[in-house]
Structure 1
Amino acid sequence: MRFEELRLENFKPYGNAEVSLSDGVTVIHGVNGSGKSSLLEACFFALYGSRALEGTLGDVVTNGEDETLVELGFSHEGVGYRIERRLRDYDNRTDHQCSLEGEDGTMRDGAREVRRFITELLRMDAEAFLNCAYVRQGEVNKLINASPSERQDTIDDLLQLGVLEEYRERAGDARLGVEDVLNAKRAVLEERDERIERLERKNLHATLNQLESDLATVDEDLDHYESQREEAETTRAEAEQILDEHEANRERLASIDEDVESLEETIREAESERETCREGISDAREQIETLRAELEERLADAGIDAAEESALETRRQELDERESTLREDRDEAVTAVTGFENQASNLKAKAEDLRERAEEAESEAERSMELAREANADLDERESRLEELDEEATALLAEFDAIEDIERGDATERLEALTERRNDVRERVAELETELKNARERVEEAEELLEAGRCPECGQPVDESPHVDRIDDRRERVTELKSSLEETNERARSLDAEIEATERLVEAEERLGEIETTRELLEERIAEAREEIDRNRETADRKHEAAEDLRTEAESTREIAAEKREAAAEAKARVETVEERLQEIDVVRDQLAEIDTRLETIADLEAEIERLRERRETLDELNDERRERLAEKRERREELREAVDEDAIASARERKRKAVEYLENVVEEIERLGERRDELQSRIGAIQGEIRTLETLRSEREELAGTVEALESVHGETSDLETMYGELRTELRQRNVRTLERMVNETFELVYGNDAYSHIELDGDYELTVYQKDGEALDPEQLSGGERALFNLALRCAIYRLLVEGIEGAAPTPPLILDEPTVFLDTGHVARLVDLVEEMREFGVRQIVIVSHDDELIGAADDLLSVEKDPRTNRSTVTRPETDVAGAIPAELDD
C-alpha cells in the first residue's frame, strides 16, 4: 500500500491543505505545535474513521467552522483508491458522510462500509494498524509496556494467527452446539420410547370395539323416543290451534264492543263540535262590526277618506317623502354641529400645542447657549493639552539628536540587531568559558602527570615520551583563551550599554507615535469644538425667533376656535326643530299601522267564519258515515257471540295437558341418552387420537434414531477439527516466534551496537528478555529511556519485516509511519535510528513517513515537507521547501 495524495479542509489547525506523498523516506518537520502530527492523524482518520480518533468526531473540526473534509488517495496492489470523509456540525451533533471509489469500479458508501472494506483490504483493523505500521507520538513504548498476553494477542492478530484461533473457537462452538443438539435428541428419543410403551399397555383397539358397540345401542333407543316425542308434539299443536281460534274470537268480540262504544262517542263529540262552530260564527260577526266602527275614527286621524289600499299607499308615500327631506336637513345640521365642534376643539388643541412649542423653543435656545459655553471651555482645555504635547515631542526628538547614526524610525531595527549580536557574544563567552575550563583541567592533569614522571599525552614515563614539550602549548592556549574571554566580556558590556540607550530610543519612538496620534485627534477635536460653538449659537438665535412666531400663531388660533363654537350652537338649534317634525310623521305612521292591523283582523275573521261554516258541513257528512258503520258493527257482534263452543274448548284443553305431560317425561330420557352418546363419542375420539399418536411416535422414533446416529458422527468430526486448528496455530506461532526473535536481534544489533548486551530472547508466550554480555538476564523495563525506545523501535520494525517477508505479494503492508520517534533519544541514539530507517528501506519498505525536527533524520529524507502555523490566524500550512546544494537540509535550516 502507498499513500499518494492528501487534501484537507478545516481539519484541526488546517484551513486548506494539499499534500502529495512519494516513495522512499518522507520527513515532515516544523516547530512544536505547528500541526505535523495532524497530517498523519488525517491519513489514519481517512482509513478508519472514528475508530482512529482518541476524542469525538467534533474534535477534528477546526474551531469556528462547521464543516470538515478529508480526502486520501492511495494505491494497493496496483489499484488506485480515493476515500472522502465529510463532517458537518449542526444541532449539537456531527453528521459523518463517507465514500470510497476504486479504479477497478469498487464503490463503498457509509463510514461502516468503508472501514470494513479497508480492514479486509489490509487485513488489519485500526488497532492492528497502530501496532504494526503507525508509531504515534508518545506510544513508542507501547509493546514493551504491554503484558505478554496482550503482546501475544497483538502480534497474533498482525500475523493472521488470530484467524486460526477464531476458526478453532468456531469449531469448538460447533462441537458444543452439536453436543447440545445430540444430548437434546437423545433425551427426546428416550421420551418417545417411554410414551410408546405406555400406550401399547392400554390395548387400545379392543377398548375401541367395545365403545362402538355401546354407542350403537344408545342410538337405537334415541330414535324410538324421538319418534314418540314427535307424535306428542303434533297432538299438542292441534289442541293449541283450537284454543287459539277460540281466544281469537273472544278478542275479536271484545274489539267490536270497543269499536261500537268508540263510534257512539265520536258521533256525540261531532254533534258538540257543530254547535261550537255555530257559536264561533256568531262571535266573529260581532267582532267585525266593532272593528269597522274603530276603523272610521282612525281614518279621520290619518287624513284619509276611505280604507282603501291605494289611499293608504299614497299617504305612506307622502310621509316617506316628507321624512326623507327632513332627515336630510337634520343630517346636514348634525354634520355641521360635529364639524364646528371638532374644528373648535382642534383649534383649541392647536393653540395649546403652539404655546407649548413656543416654550420648548425657548428652552432649546437656552440649552444651545449652554452647549456653546461648555464647548468653549473644552476648546481652551484642548488647546492647552496640544501645547504640552508639542513640548514633550520636542524633548524626545532631542534625544535622537544626542546619539549619532540613529535616525527616528531605525531604533527598533537597530535594537534587534544589537540584541542578536549580544546573544552571539554571550554564546561565545559560554564557549570560551567551557574551553578555558577544559584547557585548565588538561594543564592541571598534565602537571600532575609530570610530577609523577608521566607523559601528559600517553601516560608513559617522561624519558620515553616524545610529547613532554606540549604542556607549554597548553599553557599558552589557556593564556590565549583568558585574553579572548576578557575581550569578549568587554564587548558584551559595551553592547549592554548600547542596547540600554537604544531601548530608550525605541521607547521614545513609540511615545512620539502616540503623541502624533493624540495631536491629530486633538486638532480634530478643536476644530469640531469651534464648529459646535458656532452651530449652537446659530441654533439659539433661530429658536428665539421661532418661539415668538409660535406665540403669535397661538393667539390667532384661539380667536378662530371661539367663532367655530358659536356656529356649532346655531346648528344644534336647527337639529332640534327638524326632530320635532319627524316625531309628528311617526305619529301619523302609527295611525296607518293601526288601520292596517284592523283591516287584517277583519279579513281573518271573515275567513274564520267561512272555515267554521265548511267544518259544520263536513261534520254532518262524517256523522252519517259513522252511523252506517255502527249498524254494521252491531250485526258482527251478534254473529261472534253465537260462534263460541265451550265443549270443544274443554276437550282441546285436556288433550293439550296430556301431550305436555308426556313431553316433559320423554325429554329427560332423551337428554340422558344424549349425554351417554356424547360420552361414548368422546371416549371413542380419545382412543382414536391415542392410536394415531402411537403411530406418529413410532414414526418419529425411527427418524430420531437416525438423527442421533448422524449427530454422533458430526460430533467426532468437529472435535477433530478443533484440535487441528489449535495445533496448527501453536505450530505457526512457534515458527513466527523464532523468525521474529531472529529479526529483533538483527535489528537491535543494528540500532544498538555495543558490548553491553549479547542478545534478546522471545519465548513462545512472547515474554521478552534482554541478556548482557555476562549472561545476566534483564527485563526490558530495566533499560534506560533511550535504550528502551530503541528496543521498542527494533521490535516494531521486526514485526513489520516479518509481515513483509511473510505475506509479500499477497497483502502489501501500509507505509511505515513514525511520529516523533526521537523524543526519548539522545544524539548517539538518533544516529542509530537513521541507520534503522536505511535498513528498513533495504528490506523493501516502499514508503516511510516520519514526523521529526531532527537534522540527521531530515538529512536522510528523500522528500521533505515543512509545516508552519500562522500565530495571527492559528492556521497551519504545509509546503515542500527548496533544498540546498546537498539536496538534504532545507536552506532556511542551514544556519
Structure 2
Amino acid sequence: MRFDRVRLRNFKPYADTDVRLSDGVTVIHGLNGSGKSSLLEACFFALYGSRALDGTLGDVVTNGAEECEVELWFTHDGRSFSIRRELKRYGDQIQTTTCTLDSDDEETHREGAREVREFVADLLRMDAEAFVNCAYVRQGEVNKLINATPSDRQDMIDDLLQLGTLEEYRDRAGDARLGVEDVLSERRGALSSLADQIDEKEAKDLHARLNDLRSKLSELDENREHYEQQKANAESTREEARAVLDEQEDRREELSELESEIEDLEATVREDEAERDRLGDRVADRRDRVEELEATLDEQLAGVAVDDAKPETVDARRETLDEREADLREELQETRSQKNAYETQAERLAERAEEAESQAAEKRERAADREGDAEAAAETLAEREESLAELEAEREELEAVFDDAPVDIGEAASHRESVREDLDDVQAEIRETSNDLAAARSTVEEAERLLDEGKCPECGQPVESSPHVDSLEDDRERVATLEADLEALNDRKSALEESLSHAEELVEAENRLGQIADTRELVEDAIEEKESEIEGNRERAADLRTEAEELESTAEQRREAAGTQTERAEETRETIEGLEADLEALDDARDRLDDLASTREALDEAEADIERLSEKRAEVADRNEERREFLASKRSRRDDLREAFDEERIEEARDRLSEANDYIEQVSETLTELAERRDELTTRIGGIEAEIDELEDLRERRDDLAARVDELEALHEETEELEAMYGDLRAELRRANVESLERMLNETFELVYGNDAYSHIELDGEYELTVFQKDGEPLDPEQLSGGERALFNLSLRCAIYRLLAEGIEGAAPTPPLILDEPTVFLDSGHVSRLADLIEEMRGFGVRQILIVSHDDELVAAADELVRVEKDPTSNRSTVEHASDPSLTTVASELNAGE
C-alpha cells in the first residue's frame, strides 16, 4: 500500500493544503508544534474516521472554522482508491456530512462512515488499532510494545498475525461443543420421557372406545332430525301470523304518523301567518326610521362645506382636508427638525467645550508626568553608568586568568575537549590493563596451585621433566609489568583530571567574558536609550502645555456658539404651537364630515331593509299556499287507511302465533337435551381422537428425536475435533511466526547493536523478550537506557512490519511504515543508527516510509523532504517540498531557517 496524495481544508492548523507523497523515504521536517504530525493524523483519520482519533471530531476542525474536509488518494494491491470526508459544525456539535470511498475500477463505491471504515478494515486486513500496532509508530508511543505486559504484547502481535482469529474460532468451537453437550443431554432425557408416554397411551384401547361412542352418536342424530323438522313447521306458521300482525301494525303506525303530520302542518300554517303580520310591522318601523334620518341629514349638511351627502361629494371634501393636513404636518415636521437641530447643536457645542477643557487639564497633567519621568530616567542613567564601570573591572580580572594559561581566550572549550579525550583514552587503557592484570593474576594463582599439587600448570601432567615449567616465571613477570603499567596510567589519570579541572575553570571564565561583553553592549545601549528618553520627555512636556492653552481658547469659543443655537431653538418653538392648532381645526372638520357619511349610510341601510322585508313577506304567503295543498292530500290518505283497518283478522293471527310459540318452546327443550347429550358424546369422541392423534404424534416425535440424538452425537465428535484442530493450528502458526520474528528481529538487532555489548535477542512462545550481553548475561529490555530502549522498540516494530509484509504464503500488501518523531528519546549516536535502520528497511523492500521529525540528521536518509512551517500571526501551517534533501546544503539551510 502507498499513500499518493492528501488534501486538507480547515484540518487542525491547515487552512488549505495539498501534499503529494511518493515511494521511498519521505521526511516531514519542521519545528516542534509546526503541524508535522497533523499530516499523518489526517491520513489515518481519512482511513478510519473517528476511530483514529484520541479525542473528538471537534479536535480536528480548525479553530473558528465551520467546516472541515480531508481527502486521501492511495494505491493498494495494484488498485487506486480515494476517500473523502467532510465535517460541519452544528451549534456545539461536529457531524460528518460526507464520507465516500471510490476506486479506479468504477465498481467499488462505499458511502457512510461505517461502510467506509469496514471496507478499509477488510481491504487492509486490519482495523485502526492493528494499523497503529503494525505500521504507525505515533509520537510518544515508541515504547508501547516493550512497556506492554507479556499478555498484552501477545494479544497485539497475535491480532496483527491473524492468530487472534484462530483463538476466536477455537473458543467458538469450544462453546459449540458445550452447547451440543447440553442439547444432547436434554434430547436424551426427552426421548426417554416420550417412550414412557407412548406405553401409557397404548394400554388404554382407544380405538374400541371410539367405535362404541360413534354408534351412540348416530342414533341420537336421527331423533334430533325428526324434532327439528317439527320445529321448522311451527316456525313457518308463526312467521305467517307475524306477517299479518306486522301488516296491520304498519297501517296503524302510518295512520298515526299522518295524523301527527296533519297537525304539524296546520300549526306551521298558523305560525307563518303570524310571521307575515310581524314582517308587516317591521316594514312600517323602517319607513318611520327613514323619515328621521332624512331630517338629520338636512341638519348635518348645514354644518359642512358641501352641497349634498353623495359619497363622491363627501370623498372629494375629505381628500381636500387630507391634502391640507399633509401640508401642515410636513411644515410641522420640518419646524420640529429645525428646533431639534438647534438644540442638538447647542448640546454638542457645550459638550465639546467641556471635552476641550478636560483635554487641556489632562495635557497639563501629562506634562507634569513627563517631567517626573525625565527625573526618574536621570537617576536610572546614573545607576547604569555605575554598572558599566563594574563590568569593565570584572572583565580585566577575568582576562588576567589567561595570562599564565596554556591557551588563549576563545580556545578554552577545545582545550577542555582535548583533555577530556585524553582522559577517556587513559581510562579505557586502565580498564583494559586492569582486565589483563586480573586474568594474569588468575593464571599465576592457578599455576601455583597445580605446582603445589605436583602437576604442570599448563597441561595438568606431572611436573617432572615437563617442558612447560618455565612459563610460570614469565607469567609472574607479566603480572609485575602490568602492575607497573597500571600505576603509571593511574598517575597520568590524576594529572589529566587536574588539567581537566583547570580547563573547566578556563571555560567558565571564557563563558563569563562572553556574557560580560553581551551585557556591556546592552548596558551601553540602555544608557543611550535613557539619554534619548530624558530629552524626549522634556520636549514633550513643553508641547503638551502649549496644546493645553490652545484647547482652553477653543472651549470658550464653543460655549458662545452653544448660546446662539439655544436662542434659535426657542424661536422655532412658537411656530410649532401655531401649526399644531391648525391641525386640531382640521380634525374637527373631518369628524363632522364623518358624521354626515354615517347618516347617509344608515339611511341607505334602512331603505334596503324595507325592500328586503317586503320580499320576505311575499315569500311567506307563497309558502303557506303550497302547505295548504299538501295538507289536503294527507287528509285524503288518512281517510283511506281508516277504512282498510280489519280487527277480526288481527285476532285470528294472534291465536295462531300463540299456539306456534307454545309448541316451539316445548320442542326446543327436547332439542336442547338432545344437543347436550350430543355435545357430551362429541366431546368424549374428540378427547379419544385427540389422544389417538397425540399417540401418533408422540411416535413421530420419538422417531425424529432418536434421529436427532444420533446427529448430535456425531456433531459432538466433530466439534471436539474442530476445537483441537484450531488449538493445534494456532500453536503451530505461533511457533512459526515466533521463529521468523526472532530471526528478523536479530537481523535488525545486529545492524543496530552489532558493535555494542549485546549479542542477540531471544523471543519465547509467549512473546517474552530477553536481550543477551556478549558475556551471556540476560537483560530485561526495560534495563536498557532510554535511547537504547527506544531504538530496541523501533527494531521490534520494524521486524513485525517485515513479518507482516512477507506474509505466511508470500508477500502481502501492507501500509506505509510511519514513524512520528522517533528521535525524541535518542541522542546523536542513536539517531545515526536509526538512519541505518531506515536504510535497512528500504533494502528489505518497504515501498514507502514516512518519517515526521524536527531532527536534521534524518534529512540525509530521505528521498523526498517535506518542509512544514507555521505562521505565528495566523497560527496556520503550510507545506513545501524540497528538491534534493540528501544534500548537506539543504540541512544547513534548514538549520539557518530555524
TM over 0.5: yes
Residue of structure 1 equivalent to 2:218: 216
1:549-588 aligned at under 5 Å gives the runs 549=571
> Residues 67 and 211 from structure 1, CA distance in 2 versus in 1: closer, same or farther, beyond 3 angstroms?
same
Secondary structure of the structure 2 residue equivalent to 1:124 = coil
Secondary structure of the structure 2 residue equivalent to 1:139 = coil
| Distance (whole Å) between structure 2 residues aligned to residue 72 and residue 772 of structure 1 | 46
| Distance (whole Å) between structure 2 residues aligned to residue 71 and residue 522 of structure 1 | 66
CA contact (8 A) 2:142 2:794 kept: yes
| Distance (whole Å) between structure 2 residues aligned to residue 821 and residue 476 of structure 1 | 39
Map Cα deviations across residues 653-691 of structure 1 (whole Å, 9 max, x no partner). Answer: 9x9999998877665444333311221122122222333
Residue of structure 1 equivalent to 2:2: 2
| Distance (whole Å) between structure 1 residues aligned to residue 196 and residue 507 of structure 2 | 114
Secondary structure of the structure 2 residue equivalent to 1:80 = strand
Over alpha carbons, which structure has the higher Rg? 1
Map Cα deviations across residues 759-802 of structure 1 (whole Å, 9 max, x no partner). Answer: 32211111222233444433222332222222212211111121
Residue of structure 1 equivalent to 2:729: 728
Which amino acid is the alignment partner of residue 834 of structure 2? L
1:41-80 aligned at under 5 Å gives the runs 41-80=41-80
Note the aligned Cα RMSD (angstroms): 6.2
Q: How far did residue 806 of structure 1 move?
A: 2.6
Secondary structure of the structure 2 residue equivalent to 1:213 = helix
Which amino acid is the alignment partner of residue 750 of structure 2? E
Residue of structure 2 equivalent to 1:114: 116
> Residues 473 and 749 from structure 1, CA distance in 2 versus in 1: closer, same or farther, beyond 3 angstroms?
closer
CA contact (8 A) 2:26 2:850 kept: yes
Secondary structure of the structure 1 residue equivalent to 2:302 = helix
> Residues 148 and 372 from structure 1, CA distance in 2 versus in 1: closer, same or farther, beyond 3 angstroms?
closer
Q: Does 1:785 align with 2:786?
A: yes
Secondary structure of the structure 2 residue equivalent to 1:873 = coil
Q: Does 1:686 align with 2:687?
A: yes
> Residues 222 and 392 from structure 1, CA distance in 2 versus in 1: closer, same or farther, beyond 3 angstroms?
closer
Residue of structure 1 equivalent to 2:802: 801
Map Cα deviations across residues 711-764 of structure 1 (whole Å, 9 max, x no partner). Answer: 433333333223222211111111111121222222223222355333322111
> Residues 136 and 200 from structure 1, CA distance in 2 versus in 1: closer, same or farther, beyond 3 angstroms?
same
CA contact (8 A) 1:73 1:80 kept: yes
CA contact (8 A) 2:359 2:548 kept: no
CA contact (8 A) 1:373 1:533 kept: no
Which amino acid is the alignment partner of residue 93 of structure 1? Q
Which amino acid is the alignment partner of residue 6 of structure 2? L
Residue of structure 1 equivalent to 2:828: 827
Which amino acid is the alignment partner of residue 800 of structure 1? Y
| Distance (whole Å) between structure 1 residues aligned to residue 343 and residue 821 of structure 2 | 81
Which amino acid is the alignment partner of residue 122 of structure 1? L
Map Cα deviations across residues 229-287 of structure 1 (whole Å, 9 max, x no partner). Answer: 7899999999x99x999xx9xxx9xx9xxx9xxxxxx9xxxxxxxxxxxxxxxxxxxxx
Q: How far did residue 393 of structure 1 move?
A: 10
CA contact (8 A) 1:371 1:533 kept: no
Paired residues, number:
722
Unaligned runs of 5+ in 2: 264-283, 307-313, 382-407, 431-480, 597-602, 604-609, 618-627
Map Cα deviations across residues 814-868 of structure 1 (whole Å, 9 max, x no partner). Answer: 1111112222222322222222112111111121112222232222222222222
Which amino acid is the alignment partner of residue 781 of structure 1? E
Q: How far did residue 112 of structure 1 move?
A: 1.3
Residue of structure 2 equivalent to 1:135: 137
| Distance (whole Å) between structure 2 residues aligned to residue 862 and residue 378 of structure 1 | 68
TM-score (norm 1): 0.65
CA contact (8 A) 2:416 2:503 kept: no
Q: Does 1:16 align with 2:39?
A: no
| Distance (whole Å) between structure 1 residues aligned to residue 290 and residue 669 of structure 2 | 99
Residue of structure 2 equivalent to 1:166: 168
Residue of structure 1 equivalent to 2:81: 81
Secondary structure of the structure 2 residue equivalent to 1:750 = helix
CA contact (8 A) 2:419 2:500 kept: no
| Distance (whole Å) between structure 2 residues aligned to residue 185 and residue 444 of structure 1 | 87
CA contact (8 A) 2:195 2:702 kept: yes
Which amino acid is the alignment partner of residue 498 of structure 1? E
> Residues 680 and 561 from structure 1, CA distance in 2 versus in 1: closer, same or farther, beyond 3 angstroms?
closer
| Distance (whole Å) between structure 2 residues aligned to residue 319 and residue 232 of structure 1 | 86
Q: Does 1:811 align with 2:812?
A: yes
| Distance (whole Å) between structure 2 residues aligned to residue 244 and residue 472 of structure 1 | 151
Residue of structure 1 equivalent to 2:879: 878
> Quick check: 515-524 or 805-814, which moved more?
515-524
Secondary structure of the structure 1 residue equivalent to 2:142 = coil
2:560 to 514, 518, 537: 537
| Distance (whole Å) between structure 2 residues aligned to residue 63 and residue 47 of structure 1 | 23
Q: How far did residue 134 of structure 1 move?
A: 0.9
Q: How far did residue 316 of structure 1 move?
A: 12
| Distance (whole Å) between structure 2 residues aligned to residue 740 and residue 118 of structure 1 | 26
| Distance (whole Å) between structure 1 residues aligned to residue 40 and residue 237 of structure 2 | 111
CA contact (8 A) 2:349 2:562 kept: yes
| Distance (whole Å) between structure 2 residues aligned to residue 515 and residue 118 of structure 1 | 75
Residue of structure 2 equivalent to 1:92: 92
CA contact (8 A) 2:745 2:761 kept: yes
2:158 to 142, 156, 165: 156
CA contact (8 A) 1:364 1:540 kept: no
Q: How far did residue 202 of structure 1 move?
A: 1.8
> Residues 51 and 515 from structure 1, CA distance in 2 versus in 1: closer, same or farther, beyond 3 angstroms?
farther
Map Cα deviations across residues 165-223 of structure 1 (whole Å, 9 max, x no partner). Answer: 33333444444455455455445544443343333222111101111222233334445
Residue of structure 2 equivalent to 1:709: 710
> Residues 535 and 723 from structure 1, CA distance in 2 versus in 1: closer, same or farther, beyond 3 angstroms?
same
TM-score (norm 2): 0.65
Secondary structure of the structure 1 residue equivalent to 2:22 = coil
CA contact (8 A) 2:2 2:75 kept: yes
| Distance (whole Å) between structure 2 residues aligned to residue 390 and residue 739 of structure 1 | 85
Q: Does 1:497 align with 2:499?
A: no
Map Cα deviations across residues 131-168 of structure 1 (whole Å, 9 max, x no partner). Answer: 11111111111111212221111111111222323333
Residue of structure 1 equivalent to 2:450: none
> Residues 885 and 26 from structure 1, CA distance in 2 versus in 1: closer, same or farther, beyond 3 angstroms?
closer
Which amino acid is the alignment partner of residue 36 of structure 2? K
| Distance (whole Å) between structure 1 residues aligned to residue 576 and residue 779 of structure 2 | 117
2:413 to 406, 412, 431: 431
> Quick check: 148-157 or 214-223, which moved more?
214-223
| Distance (whole Å) between structure 1 residues aligned to residue 225 and residue 77 of structure 2 | 94
> Residues 428 and 670 from structure 1, CA distance in 2 versus in 1: closer, same or farther, beyond 3 angstroms?
same
Q: Does 1:329 align with 2:302?
A: yes
> Residues 540 and 827 from structure 1, CA distance in 2 versus in 1: closer, same or farther, beyond 3 angstroms?
same
> Residues 502 and 693 from structure 1, CA distance in 2 versus in 1: closer, same or farther, beyond 3 angstroms?
same
| Distance (whole Å) between structure 2 residues aligned to residue 555 and residue 888 of structure 1 | 85
Map Cα deviations across residues 483-523 of structure 1 (whole Å, 9 max, x no partner). Answer: 99878865653543232111344567789999999999999
| Distance (whole Å) between structure 1 residues aligned to residue 847 and residue 141 of structure 2 | 23
Q: How far did residue 82 of structure 1 move?
A: 1.6
Which amino acid is the alignment partner of residue 493 of structure 1? I
> Residues 495 and 53 from structure 1, CA distance in 2 versus in 1: closer, same or farther, beyond 3 angstroms?
closer
Which amino acid is the alignment partner of residue 157 of structure 2? I
> Quick check: 523-532 or 148-157, which moved more?
523-532
| Distance (whole Å) between structure 2 residues aligned to residue 235 and residue 476 of structure 1 | 149
Map Cα deviations across residues 2-60 of structure 1 (whole Å, 9 max, x no partner). Answer: 11212111111222222222222222222222222112211111111111100111111
> Residues 713 and 827 from structure 1, CA distance in 2 versus in 1: closer, same or farther, beyond 3 angstroms?
same
> Residues 666 and 432 from structure 1, CA distance in 2 versus in 1: closer, same or farther, beyond 3 angstroms?
closer
| Distance (whole Å) between structure 1 residues aligned to residue 75 and residue 197 of structure 2 | 69
CA contact (8 A) 1:2 1:846 kept: yes
> Residues 887 and 109 from structure 1, CA distance in 2 versus in 1: closer, same or farther, beyond 3 angstroms?
farther
Q: Does 1:841 align with 2:814?
A: no
Which amino acid is the alignment partner of residue 521 of structure 2? E
CA contact (8 A) 2:356 2:554 kept: no
